[in-house]
A and B are shown apart, each in its own frame.
Chain A
Amino acid sequence: MGGLGHFLEDEGLPTVQISLVREHTEQIQPPRALWVPFILGRPLGVPGDPEFQKRVLRAALNLLEAPSGPILEDYPEEAPEADESEADGWVCPVSFAVAKDESLGGALGREIQQYRTWFDLGRQKRGRTMFGVAELEIEALGDFLVAYADGGDPDKPDPDLPLARILRSAADDLKTFYYEAATAQPGSPSPDDLANWFWTMTVGGDVTVKIWNRARASEDPEIKRLQGLIMPGEWREHFG
């Protein structure tokens, strides 16, 4: 990020950046940066709080009027603690373990149907969804991922893309489906609540773990890279 600021400014464009990792910004020294004390993925601090976001953006833009630089300023306002206030009232959605005589695909299909009404409601409420990068309907997406998780060699839905890229998008879409369904339910789960639920209590999580294990064992370098991409680092430690 800091490199971009350097190159653009060098070409004559005034820049200001938001910084999430202060140690990097200190070293790179872009022209103007506002370090913010928020979690990775939330550079403006709080979703659904336009005034909070605008205060952050205004503080960043104000640095464009600083007389000289490089300048690295700290943003003073913390985001509300997600794991305290946000989790109020949220209960982990019901999860369905795989029954002894049930296939992984059957269990996933059952779970998907159960959450579908919440996913649809969430999409309606927000007017958008992040689901769909893999360009597959949720049922076909589930079938594709389960086939791969079970050791099969499913047809690539897009012949022009590498299998590893498709698996990465599909795994992300599956998690997005679950997260958007869960956050449509009453209450406001924190990112940790959502991750704990997905990775330890859902069939969708089980399917992703199986794909991760297959990627770890793969001798195809591109597939092997998936092991570091489809699961956050702390969960790789957990399942490793």
Chain B
Amino acid sequence: MVRMAEIPEPSRVHIAALPCHDYETKPWVKGPPIKERRVAIISTAGLQRRDDRPYAFDANDYRIIPGSTSPGDIVMSHISSNFDRSGFQQDYNIAFPLDRLREMAADGEIASVAEYHYSFMGSTHPDDMEPTARHLAGLLKSDNVDAVVLIPV
């Protein structure tokens, strides 16, 4: 439905002007077939557990969403109001498809679902996320994850 030209002003101008890093290296990691992979979600929707801290205005830290978290305890504290939240209010899988991954694991489409998933608040500059992202990589490996689905909002 929405392409850049269809995003309402002035959000379109703001989004178009966001700095995009041009990375010199093009990392590429191979892995086993999808049905043998353990999958984790990283969201930039500003998700948190209900009793966790809301994101600060310029947050570049992350929140842990254990796979065992009750759907009623997953909330959003992203500071931006320039995206639709009504879809997430109706069905959290619209931006955090944990139930879909579980179904795919049950059907054998993927091997398993990670124990821990993570969220950032996506309006943070990518360079500010680098140290945290690299740290997160180690945590994901400890959880034997070998496929990460990155989902914006």
- Give the contacts of B56-96 with A (CB-CB under 8 A): 56-57, 70-72, 74-77, 79-95
**Nearest B residue (CB) for A12:** B29
Q: Mark B1-37, 1 if CB is under 8 A from A, else 0.
A: 1111001111100111010111101111111011001
In the bound complex, residues from chain A placing their C-beta under 8 Å from that of B92 are 128
- Pick from A36-44, A92-100, A105-113, A146-154 the stretch touching chain B: A36-44
Q: Which residues of A contact B122 (CB under 8 A)?
A: 1
Complexed CA–CA distance, A64 and B85 (Å)? 29
Q: Once the chains bind, are B140 and A8 in contact (CB under 8 Å)? A: yes
In the assembled complex, A14 has its CB within 8 A of some CB on chain B: yes
**Cα separation A234 to B83 with both chains bound (whole Å):** 11
A127 touches B140 (CB 8 A): no
Chain B 122-151 interface mask (CB, 8 Å, partner A; 1/0):
100011011001101110110001111111
**Complex: A17 Cα to B15 Cα, angstroms:** 18
| Smallest CB gap from B85: residue in A | A41
Q: CB within 8 A of B21: which of A28, A39, A44, A65? A: A28
B84 to chain A, nearest CB (A): 3
Is the Cβ of A15 less than 8 Å from the Cβ of B15?
A: no
Q: Which residues of B contact A24 (CB under 8 A)?
A: 15, 18, 20
User: With a CB–CB cut-off of 8 A, which chain A residues contact B28?
Assistant: 9, 31, 68-70
Counting CB contacts under 8 A, is A202 at the interface?
Answer: no
Name the B residues within 8 Å of A128 (CB-CB).
70-72, 74, 92
CA distance A14 to B137 in the complex (A): 10
Interface flags for B46-58 (1: CB within 8 Å of A; 0: not) read 0010100010110
Q: Is A28 within 8 A of B153, CB to CB?
A: no
| Nearest A residue to B22, CB-CB | A27
**A: number of interface residues (CB 8 Å):** 89
Q: With the chains together, A229 CA to B139 CA distance in Å?
A: 32
- Residues from chain A with a CB closer than 8 A to the CB of B74 are 128
Contact code string A27-59 (vs B, CB < 8 Å = 1, else 0): 111110000011111111111101001100110
Residues in B whose Cβ lies below 8 Å from that of A44: 93-95, 97, 100, 151
The closest CB in chain A to the CB of B26 belongs to A70
Question: Complex: how many Å from CA A229 to CA B78?
Answer: 10
Residues on the B chain within 8 Å of A60, using CB = 149
Q: Does A165 contact B (CB under 8 A)?
A: yes
| B44, closest chain A residue (CB) | A1
Known: A13-B148, A17-B150, A37-B2. A7 touches B56 (CB 8 A): no
Q: Is A18 an interface residue (CB 8 A)?
A: yes
Contact with B along A103-145 (1 / 0, CB 8 A): 0000000000000000000000011111011000000000000
| Interface set of A (CB-CB < 8 Å, partner B) | 1-24, 27-31, 37-48, 50, 53-54, 57-58, 60-62, 64-65, 68-70, 78-79, 81-82, 126-130, 132-133, 161, 164-165, 168-169, 172, 175-176, 179-180, 183, 189, 191, 194, 222, 225, 229-234, 236-237
- 12 A-B residue contacts at CB 8 Å? A13-B145, A15-B150, A27-B20, A28-B22, A44-B93, A70-B26, A126-B90, A129-B89, A168-B57, A168-B79, A169-B54, A234-B11
Contacts A2-B20, A53-B100, A127-B71 aside, 5 further interface pairs with beta carbons under 8 A come to A1-B44, A6-B27, A37-B2, A42-B87, A70-B26
